[in-house]
Amino acid sequence: MRDYGRDVLAGDWRRPLRGKIPKVPAELDLVVEDAGGGFCGAVVACDKEAVTLEDRFGRRRVFPLAPAAFLLDGKPVTLVRPAPDAVAKGPARSASGSIAVEGLRARVARESRIYVEGVHDAALVEKIWGHDLRVEGVVVEYLEGVDDLPAIVAEFEPGPGRRLGVLVDHLVPGSKESRIAARVSASAHVLVVGHPYIDIWAAVKPSVLGIPAWPQVPRGIPWKEGVIEALGWRLEPAEAWHRILGAVQTYTDLEPELLGRVEELIDFVSTEEN
């Protein structure tokens, strides 16, 4: 029996092995690597559900706080939310997670612009990225829909030093929005990106509003009105939006599909062209 080692049935074999993967507080500036995809960066923000990493090129990605999801010095670790005082010791952060610029004076507006579909989109972008936009001197305007986007782009006359970024709702293959976007995406001075949600409301995480998920609204029913009815809110759409926007405090309250696209647009319109 000695040739086969200890009896695997000896002792309490039902007890799971513990202590194999250490838990590490996701403190600011801790450098870790995503075990699944290899993205490596420093912690810039963390909440109870997710951690944001920023790599050396300034690119950011949001990851869930899952067991053994990261590598620290090449070894698997589980990141956990740090104590509040550990977060407080870090540099001041804006709502988007960027380092806040103390005593900021807004930069003179660039000729480049970001267009979004509606006033709700513009309000949400301002609330989360307003600080960043003022640092970069970028103005956001809303279009009231994208049906006339080709004419609007032509009127804007994009060119060197005059870039145009457009954020589109429901930009998925085969949609009306995707066909319109394709008509204006040929220019190197125009970038059209979008999120998959029918409306910007759904880019807010349901948990922020205390609901399990955004309701499924049948075709033929206006989406906002359908959502309000399904949730039992006795509110007009404008009042419902005030409730939603008021619940959003930082970028962690938004879905990653929106976060990445807005960051991409800000980078695009604020890049100095040669």
Q: pLDDT tens digit string along 13-66?
A: 344 444 588 999 998 878 888 888 878 888 888 888 889 888 766 778 889 998
Q: Is residue 102 part of a domain?
A: no
Q: Average the pLDDT over each of 47-51, 88-92, 130-134 and give the range with the smallest value.
A: 88-92
Q: Is residue 254 part of a domain?
A: yes
Give the end of a domain, one of 88, 104, 131. 88
Which two structure tokens, joined as six digits, stand for 151?
Answer: 């004419």
Residue 132 pLDDT greater than 60, yes or no: yes
- Answer yes or no: do 81 and 128 share one domain: no
Which two structure tokens, joined as six digits, stand for 167?
Answer: 């954020």
Q: Is residue 130 part of a domain?
A: yes
Q: Is residue 10 part of a domain?
A: no
pLDDT of residue 107: 65
Q: Is residue 180 part of a domain?
A: yes
Per the model's pLDDT, the better-predicted residue between 56 and 171 turns out to be 171
Question: Which residue, among 173, 225, 165, has the nearest Cα to 201 in the 3D structure?
Answer: 225
Instruction: Determine the Cα–Cα distance for residues 150 and 184; give it in Å rounded to an integer.
Output: 6
Per the model's pLDDT, the better-predicted residue between 72 and 239 turns out to be 239
Which two structure tokens, joined as six digits, stand for 147?
Answer: 């049906």
- Answer yes or no: do 49 and 160 share one domain: no
pLDDT category, 144, cuts 50, 70, 90? confident
Q: pLDDT tens digit string along 106-128?
A: 667 789 999 999 999 999 999 99
Strand order in the sheet with 40-46: 23-25, 75-80, 70-72, 31-34, 40-46, 50-54, 60-64
Domain count, the chain: 2
Residue 182 pLDDT greater than 80, yes or no: yes
Percent of the chain with pLDDT over 90: 49
pLDDT of residue 105: 64
CA atoms within 13 Å, Cβ hemisphere of 10: 3
- Answer yes or no: do 257 and 121 share one domain: yes
Of the ranges 68-72, 82-86, 107-111, 227-231, the best mean pLDDT one: 227-231
Outline where the chain has alpha helix (H): 84-88, 119-136, 149-156, 176-184, 223-231, 237-247, 256-270
Instruction: Determine the Cα–Cα distance for residues 3 and 226; give it in Å rounded to an integer.
Output: 70
Question: Which residue, among 192, 200, 55, has the nearest Cα to 122 in the 3D structure?
Answer: 200
- Answer yes or no: do 131 and 212 share one domain: yes
- Answer yes or no: do 123 and 36 share one domain: no
Q: Is residue 103 part of a domain?
A: no
Q: Count other C-beta atoms under 10 Å from residue 18's C-beta.
A: 6
Q: Which structural domain, as residue segments, surrounds residue 84?
A: 23-88
Q: pLDDT tens digit string along 197-238?
A: 999 999 999 988 999 999 999 999 999 999 999 999 999 999
Residue 7 pLDDT greater than 60, yes or no: no
Q: Is residue 61 part of a domain?
A: yes
- Answer yes or no: do 132 and 245 share one domain: yes
- Answer yes or no: do 74 and 194 share one domain: no
Do the strands 31-34 and 70-72 form a parallel or antiparallel pair, or are they unpaired?
antiparallel
Instruction: Determine the Cα–Cα distance for residues 102 and 82; give it in Å rounded to an integer.
Output: 25
- Mean confidence (pLDDT) of the chain: 84
pLDDT of residue 139: 92
- Answer yes or no: do 57 and 127 share one domain: no
**What's at 132, amino acid-wise?**
D
Residue 145 pLDDT greater than 70, yes or no: yes
- Answer yes or no: do 33 and 155 share one domain: no
- Answer yes or no: do 77 and 119 share one domain: no
Question: The domain spanning residue 65 has which CATH number?
Answer: 2.30.30
pLDDT of residue 4: 40
- Answer yes or no: do 264 and 151 share one domain: yes
Predicted structure pTM score: 0.67
Percent of the chain with pLDDT over 70: 85
Q: Is residue 153 part of a domain?
A: yes
- Answer yes or no: do 123 and 252 share one domain: yes
Mean pLDDT on 240-266? 92
Question: Which residue, among 176, 178, 171, has the nearest Cα to 197 in the 3D structure?
Answer: 171
